[in-house]
Chain A
Amino acid sequence: KQEVTQIPAALSVPEGENLVLNCSFTDSAIYNLQWFRQDPGKGLTSLLLIQSSQREQTSGRLNASLDKSSGRSTLYIAASQPGDSATYLCASHGSGNTGKLIFGQGTTLQVKP
């Protein structure tokens, strides 16, 4: 059974700092891994999707990596801004590509001006 873990649960950094959010999963036979952003009281916004054959994806200041052998993914945010403050969730698409997402608990990021 796939389990996804995100540590730490909360993170506070000063504006401008580069930071890394961590995600680990127990079953290396994942199909895809997806990173989401969730603002308070809102739904989920997809940030990056890494297919199992890929090692990383980039979008603007965001870079996500995937290491299936170690069961880890990281989300790198460059030059953080107060507008990046939100909860970041990673989710594993199960093996066999059933579509089902298994989520971590999320990391709540606060970027201080």
Chain B
Amino acid sequence: DQQVKQNSPSLSVQEGRISILNCDYTNSMFDYFLWYKKYPAEGPTFLISISSIKDKNEDGRFTVFLNKSAKHLSLHIVPSQPGDSAVYFCAASDGGGADGLTFGKGTHLIIQP
């Protein structure tokens, strides 16, 4: 039973355009959400997070939106750059992140020149 779902295994976007990665969750107890970026043969690196008390968090080119009623969050990358090509994982926690995270399967983002 997947509690965090990323339904798009891959996404191809042209350089300079907006990349939108989606994530859905089923556990109403989740109160903290994170996005991680992962390159091959490396560990995931933290990108951006959002608490359930907010509906938007922005950090440079990255913005995460949270729609609690729909149990949906999305990551927007504007503008997309070649270095953004990676696997993006959505993760969630019901303890502020302290008790471990529940991850989605990831979306492979490919930025085309």
Genuine A/B complex: no
Give residues in A with beta carbon < 8 Å to B: none
